[in-house]
Structure 1
Amino acid sequence: MIIGSVQVREATQPQRDSHYRPTFSKDSPVVLPPRWLSIAQLLDMALQPVVNIHTGRCLGYEALVRGTDAAGFDDIAAFLDACAADGVLMEMEVLLADKAMRKLGGLPHTRDIKLFLNVDGRTLAHVVRFDKALHAVMQANGVGESSVILEISERHQIYATSEGRDAIAALRRMCGKIAVDDFGAGYSGLPLLYFAQPEYIKIDRFFIEDIGGDSRKKLFLSHMVNVAHLLGILVVAEGVETEKEYYICKDIGIDLVQGWLVQRPTLEPERLLPVYPQVQDLAAQDRRTAAGDQKLIAQWIEAIQPLVYGVDMTAVFDRFRQDKTSTFFPVVDEHHEPLGIIRELDLKDYTYSLYGKELMSNKAFGRKLRDFVWKCPVADINTKAETILEVFSAAKDESEGIIIVDDNKYVGFLSARSLLRVISEKNLALARDQNPLTKLPGNNLINEYLGRALAEAEAAYTIAYIDFDNFKPFNDKYGFRQGDRAITLFADIMRSDLPKQDVFIGHVGGDDFFAAFRNFEFADAETRVRAAIERFRLDVESFYDEEARHRGYIVAKNREGAVRQMPLLSASAAIVRIPAGHAPSSIDDISTLIAQLKKEAKQAPEKLASAQVGAA
């Protein structure tokens, strides 16, 4: 059968939903030809949860079309193309939205739940009719505007024309919140992010899959998250299937997750939950989270009472008059989720403009609160203080501070002054445990990190203990100042050559160093350690006099006091692999193993020795 220009197979044994009738009336602008209504009766809507990465609480469910194969289409894209070719795409999307709302309406926990609805870019050519029809369906199903998030499809370049950008603005007026789907794929890039100004971006599965072994994906993802948070946008990771992917997303700063790890799309709404225990458990097991940051941030949050979206502008002006010390107020929706801030400066600019005061007093033509909402950076209270500072620093010329949320709900505002106090207090605490020479974490922080690593059975770690060879003769001959230079040289090499993400480096003391790699392939971690000690061997030669470099040794006393030809400085590394699912171990057990490996490493040609602790 040919529908438009698309080849469609005959449906096999169609089982039509003969009881389904769309909720819109005969007077609705939505009219489907009988053939397409018959096809629609073969379709169903699956729902998949989108949950908070820190708490497992469900923000909402994405509606996904199912049954296109039974209707004779190769895939969903072919189905949508056929709808567009026959001029029924907008009508079909409204009908599918109706099906999704009906299914969601049967849940007992839908009060604060969002429904993510996908909108094909081609539908925006009929945005006025789409607006009218969708609102009719929402009203018939008792679904409020704040409960719907429209996802803009990535398949079509909708922002290229002024009409397309106007249509995106119309979408925002329809429901208040927009998500950019599959960000980073197709046309869902920075231009769409710029024009759509969404509340959410959903990162394409490409950047999530196998991210544990791909440092470039981590780099791309971390920058996308930082840009989004700078613009006040929450980030959803799509297609999260493994615990490893979950933990990396959490470390990078992702706000919400969606994927098989949480729950597969289901046609049975009774299987959907308000909170997902498996995500709660993963977050609870993640003992690497710096609880101290959360306490510091909570201590300095300003609990500014927000304005609720939709309040009359008279109440807004009254609020500023009553609180003359405030130059802005946060704005939240009816679910207490932040939308941005309203600034006194913007109100003054408009009010003092020509006819501004008259327009403001005219309820029919005057601007509303939504017209003055200014996007503001947002951060979860569980975010590391340094990450919050990084986001704020990029926006400091335009931002009053950062809105802090917990479980996607507004909890307060962190001003620039308060943020600097958080960082200052954290730095003071860190300074007490830093090595004074290299400024790297010292013994206490190393032991704390190692303790958390040993307790985190679901993650794999590679730890390296590195110390210098022939350091005492060098120090005796050239003096403590040159010895300190050699120590700081190796510290600088570790800082510059080892990755920042999922790597911890420390200075045990003297010429002993520590490095740990979380969820790295063992061979990758070992290669990086080998490269660091080789670079040190080459660079430290410049600290010797020309004659010693030429000979390849110095004449000095060894540890026993005997005069010997002592080789030039180098470093050895004892490397221990702690696999995921490892058996319980103590720090003392690891220390004993490292001491044994250190002796082997100093005798090995490559100056490396490695071992693995037992799996559970």
Structure 2
Amino acid sequence: MSRNSTTDRASGLIQPDSRFPSTGTADEIGDRASAHWRAIQAAVSVCLQPVISIHSGRCVGFETVLSGYERLGYASASGLLDAAHGLGALPDLEHLILDRALSLFCGGPDHPEQKLFLNIDTRSLSDARALAARITRYLQQYGLNTVNLVIEVAERHPIADLSQIAPALTLLRQAAGGIGLDNFGAGYSGLPLLYSAQPDYIKIDRFFIANAEVDTRKRAFLTHIVNLAHLLGVQVIAEGVDSDREYMLCRDSGCDLVQGFAISPPLSSLTDATPLHDGVRALNAQDRRNRGSDIKLVSAQIEVIPPLPDTASLDDAFERLRTGSTTFLPVVSALGEPLGLLREKDLKAYVYSPFGKDLLSNKVYGRGPRHFLWPCPTAEVSARAEKILEIFSSDEESEGIILTEDGRYAGFLSARSLLRILNEKNLAVARDQNPLTKLPGNAVINDHLTEALADRGAAYTIAYIDFDFFKPFNDSYGFRQGDRAITLYADILRKDLPRDLCFIGHVGGDDFFASIRHSDCAEAVKMIRHTLDRFCDEVESFYDEESRRRGYILGKDRDGKDVRLPLLRASAGVLHITSGQSVESIDEVSGIFARLKKQAKASPSGMAVAMLGPVTREEAACCPEADPSESV
């Protein structure tokens, strides 16, 4: 089907495209058009792909996936949609998809508590009123609530006038329970559409997920998009997640929901679908890290303000605000999902105007809590305290932050409560912090190492780093210069290792610790090598000009004889632990590092690498610093 075909407006039938002869009488053309439309109806079908909570594995809903287009000769679903648009039949095709998707969705045993995510082409928004009316009729026909449907807007085509998007989406939001943006970050409108649409969900394009575990810039983009979404009170769906490593990356980046072949393929029947997806639960079980180390601190400060249902009347809201102790109310959907805040100050203009309150209370006027919602930042209750603060502090007008548990309203955290949490955490961290470098000390390092060794769901590259020829340097230049060298390397580790995947600590003296999660061995070794080389270059400035020129300093051995002592450098023993590898204890790792440390100091490169777990020749070849014979 091509874009230059036409539609017979009188009959409402699709005219044949360039694949079908257009010659003949009007009746003959109409017959072929009818046959063409019947072929589309017979060929097009839908499947539903589970959308899973990344926190618990609960099946939140299903994404509508169009299939059968290949039987019509199209290479992709977008090809069929483009052709339908060219024929003027895009609304008819979307009508067909909606009907079949709802029919399949209602076959699931838990569909009253779930959502159907349905993609709508932006070109259909030109007649949003008719589309909204059609959606309302179908929801009534299938006995569903508006909360069961999320309309996703695709960014495949340019939007000429973004100012027209908001009214169209307002109409659709009244018919459906939520609005989503599909393929966010890879479409035409991007951030302007995010601003205009005020969505409830954004679906991160796979581009930002693929290979992000080894691409620092992609991880940075992913993390910032998630933070921006949460600041706006928007949930984030990671789409196209095809491996366990990608799943772990999306979870660590703060995504709320996930879908992809690593979780489940599209389903043609929901009779076997369960509320909890075993695959996600298994992945979460593999990761035994203490991700919830701040949960106790946060839970102790949560203020559980009873939420206001979005279906409540404004009279109920006025009464709650009059008798309650807060100047705002969290508003939730029928499924308990936070929608935003209803603030007293936003209603004052009506309350203090003549007949304003009576007008709002009038059911004919049709205003409810949803019409006065103020976006509020959200965070999962299991998030780190620093992450919650980062989201909260980005919004100067925020009353606080809404906390969720598995995507549902759990309570509210005020600015004062958040400060208490951070104060308690900072006190705990300060007890073990190295006073010179302000890096975590031995107790925190041991806790991290214990958690890393128990986390079989991810690969880790762990490095033990210390200085070579540090004593001669200290003896010649004094302990103050020695302290400067230590803080120099600490700063290099902070700046050059990725914060989102790396833990660094200061064992004491000139000994450091670094751990990189979800790492490719070769990439991690490259990062560590960079810190060693940078330190070697920069620490030369601590020597006098003559020593720098010679490349060594003069000292005395135990017998008092003059000896040449090399300039200061750092060496690293590096251990790569493959995903799924079981480690007995920290003592086992300590024994490996004792051997690697000696090898590193004796090596011209200042580095020795070993791999723990089954390693193929190809994997060993990807890490040239590692000796395959040293795999343990």
- Normalised by the length of structure 2, the TM-score is 0.89
- Work out the CA distance in 2 between the residues paired with 1:276 and 1:62: 15
- Work out the CA distance in 2 between the residues paired with 1:546 and 1:436: 31
Match of 1:182 in 2: 183
- Work out the CA distance in 1 between the residues paired with 2:2 and 2:491: 67
Which segments of 5 or more consecutive residues in structure 1 lack a partner in the other structure?
A: 11-31
Structure 1 counterpart SS, 2:164: helix
Q: 2:179–2:199: 8 Å Cα contact kept in structure 1?
A: yes
Larger mean Cα displacement after TM superposition, 166-175 or 220-229: 166-175
Please report how far the alpha carbon of residue 357 of structure 1 lies from its aligned counterpart in structure 2 after TM superposition: 3.9
Structure 2 counterpart SS, 1:64: strand
- Work out the CA distance in 1 between the residues paired with 2:290 and 2:159: 40
- Work out the CA distance in 2 between the residues paired with 1:295 and 1:557: 56
Match of 1:104 in 2: 105
1:385 is matched by which residue type in structure 2? Answer: A
Q: 1:158–1:165: 8 Å Cα contact kept in structure 2?
A: no
1:484 and 2:486 are equivalent in the alignment: no
Please report how far the alpha carbon of residue 288 of structure 1 lies from its aligned counterpart in structure 2 after TM superposition: 2.5
Please report how far the alpha carbon of residue 509 of structure 1 lies from its aligned counterpart in structure 2 after TM superposition: 0.7
Which segments of 5 or more consecutive residues in structure 2 lack a partner in the other structure?
A: 6-15, 21-32, 616-632
Match of 2:362 in 1: 362
Structure 2 counterpart SS, 1:235: strand
1:263 and 2:264 are equivalent in the alignment: yes
Q: 1:101–1:143: 8 Å Cα contact kept in structure 2?
A: no
Q: 1:180–1:188: 8 Å Cα contact kept in structure 2?
A: no
Match of 1:287 in 2: 288
Please report how far the alpha carbon of residue 188 of structure 1 lies from its aligned counterpart in structure 2 after TM superposition: 5.0
Match of 2:23 in 1: none
Q: 1:533–1:570: 8 Å Cα contact kept in structure 2?
A: yes
Aligned residue runs from structure 1 range 84-95, under 5 A: 84-95=85-96
Structure 2 counterpart SS, 1:291: coil
Number of aligned residue pairs: give it: 593
Please report how far the alpha carbon of residue 161 of structure 1 lies from its aligned counterpart in structure 2 after TM superposition: 4.4
Aligned residue runs from structure 1 range 3-152, under 5 A: 5=5, 35-152=36-153
Match of 2:155 in 1: 154
- Work out the CA distance in 2 between the residues paired with 1:492 and 1:376: 36
Q: 2:292–2:384: 8 Å Cα contact kept in structure 1?
A: no
- Work out the CA distance in 2 between the residues paired with 1:225 and 1:456: 24
CA deviations 1:323-358 (Å, max 9, x no partner) are: 1x3111100011111100111111113333576345
Match of 2:428 in 1: 429
Please report how far the alpha carbon of residue 272 of structure 1 lies from its aligned counterpart in structure 2 after TM superposition: 2.2
Please report how far the alpha carbon of residue 560 of structure 1 lies from its aligned counterpart in structure 2 after TM superposition: 8.3
- Work out the CA distance in 1 between the residues paired with 2:153 and 2:485: 56
- Work out the CA distance in 2 between the residues paired with 1:435 and 1:8: 74
Q: 1:9–1:72: 8 Å Cα contact kept in structure 2?
A: no
Shift of the 81–300 alpha-carbon distance from structure 1 to 2, 3 Å rule, reads same
- Work out the CA distance in 1 between the residues paired with 2:354 and 2:159: 35
CA deviations 1:439-471 (Å, max 9, x no partner) are: 111112212222222222232111111111111
- Work out the CA distance in 2 between the residues paired with 1:474 and 1:268: 71
- Work out the CA distance in 2 between the residues paired with 1:104 and 1:8: 35
1:277 and 2:278 are equivalent in the alignment: yes
Match of 2:511 in 1: 512
Match of 1:13 in 2: none
Match of 1:203 in 2: 204
Shift of the 242–410 alpha-carbon distance from structure 1 to 2, 3 Å rule, reads same
Shift of the 308–562 alpha-carbon distance from structure 1 to 2, 3 Å rule, reads farther
Larger mean Cα displacement after TM superposition, 198-207 or 37-46: 37-46
CA RMSD of aligned residues (A): 2.2
CA deviations 1:475-534 (Å, max 9, x no partner) are: 223322222121111111111122212111111111101111112222222222222122
Match of 2:602 in 1: 603
CA deviations 1:565-610 (Å, max 9, x no partner) are: 3222211111112122334342212211211121121121111111
Q: 1:346–1:372: 8 Å Cα contact kept in structure 2?
A: yes
Shift of the 68–103 alpha-carbon distance from structure 1 to 2, 3 Å rule, reads same
- Work out the CA distance in 2 between the residues paired with 1:39 and 1:241: 30
Q: 1:44–1:267: 8 Å Cα contact kept in structure 2?
A: no
Q: 1:465–1:594: 8 Å Cα contact kept in structure 2?
A: yes
Larger mean Cα displacement after TM superposition, 209-218 or 63-72: 63-72
Structure 2 counterpart SS, 1:218: helix
Please report how far the alpha carbon of residue 240 of structure 1 lies from its aligned counterpart in structure 2 after TM superposition: 0.6
Match of 1:408 in 2: 407
Larger mean Cα displacement after TM superposition, 372-381 or 442-451: 442-451
Please report how far the alpha carbon of residue 263 of structure 1 lies from its aligned counterpart in structure 2 after TM superposition: 0.6
Structure 1 counterpart SS, 2:242: coil
Please report how far the alpha carbon of residue 219 of structure 1 lies from its aligned counterpart in structure 2 after TM superposition: 0.9
- Work out the CA distance in 1 between the residues paired with 2:558 and 2:112: 74
- Normalised by the length of structure 1, the TM-score is 0.92
- Work out the CA distance in 2 between the residues paired with 1:498 and 1:162: 43
Aligned residue runs from structure 1 range 256-405, under 5 A: 256-323=257-324, 325-353=325-353, 356-365=356-365, 367-395=367-395, 397-405=396-404
Q: 2:292–2:383: 8 Å Cα contact kept in structure 1?
A: no
- Work out the CA distance in 2 between the residues paired with 1:206 and 1:222: 14
2:302 is matched by which residue type in structure 1? Answer: I
Larger mean Cα displacement after TM superposition, 329-338 or 529-538: 529-538
Q: 1:359–1:366: 8 Å Cα contact kept in structure 2?
A: no
1:166 and 2:164 are equivalent in the alignment: no
- Work out the CA distance in 1 between the residues paired with 2:292 and 2:82: 50
Structure 1 counterpart SS, 2:275: coil
Aligned residue runs from structure 1 range 200-279, under 5 A: 200-279=201-280
**How high is the sequence identity, in percent, across the aligned residues?**
50
Structure 2 counterpart SS, 1:266: coil
Q: 1:68–1:75: 8 Å Cα contact kept in structure 2?
A: yes
Match of 2:541 in 1: 542
- Work out the CA distance in 2 between the residues paired with 1:519 and 1:574: 19
Please report how far the alpha carbon of residue 206 of structure 1 lies from its aligned counterpart in structure 2 after TM superposition: 1.3
Shift of the 354–153 alpha-carbon distance from structure 1 to 2, 3 Å rule, reads farther
Shift of the 162–533 alpha-carbon distance from structure 1 to 2, 3 Å rule, reads closer
Structure 2 counterpart SS, 1:383: coil
Larger mean Cα displacement after TM superposition, 565-574 or 152-161: 152-161
Match of 2:500 in 1: 501
Match of 1:593 in 2: 592
Please report how far the alpha carbon of residue 384 of structure 1 lies from its aligned counterpart in structure 2 after TM superposition: 1.6
- Work out the CA distance in 1 between the residues paired with 2:547 and 2:2: 84
Q: 1:185–1:204: 8 Å Cα contact kept in structure 2?
A: yes
1:534 is matched by which residue type in structure 2? Answer: D
- Work out the CA distance in 1 between the residues paired with 2:217 and 2:188: 21
Please report how far the alpha carbon of residue 555 of structure 1 lies from its aligned counterpart in structure 2 after TM superposition: 3.3
Q: 1:442–1:507: 8 Å Cα contact kept in structure 2?
A: yes
CA deviations 1:196-219 (Å, max 9, x no partner) are: 100000011111112212111111
Q: 2:165–2:197: 8 Å Cα contact kept in structure 1?
A: no
- Work out the CA distance in 2 between the residues paired with 1:390 and 1:68: 45
- Work out the CA distance in 1 between the residues paired with 2:559 and 2:451: 39
2:74 is matched by which residue type in structure 1? Answer: F
Q: 2:338–2:409: 8 Å Cα contact kept in structure 1?
A: yes
Please report how far the alpha carbon of residue 561 of structure 1 lies from its aligned counterpart in structure 2 after TM superposition: 7.6
- Work out the CA distance in 1 between the residues paired with 2:512 and 2:139: 62
Q: 2:392–2:401: 8 Å Cα contact kept in structure 1?
A: yes
Please report how far the alpha carbon of residue 559 of structure 1 lies from its aligned counterpart in structure 2 after TM superposition: 7.4
- Work out the CA distance in 2 between the residues paired with 1:194 and 1:474: 57
- Work out the CA distance in 1 between the residues paired with 2:75 and 2:244: 32
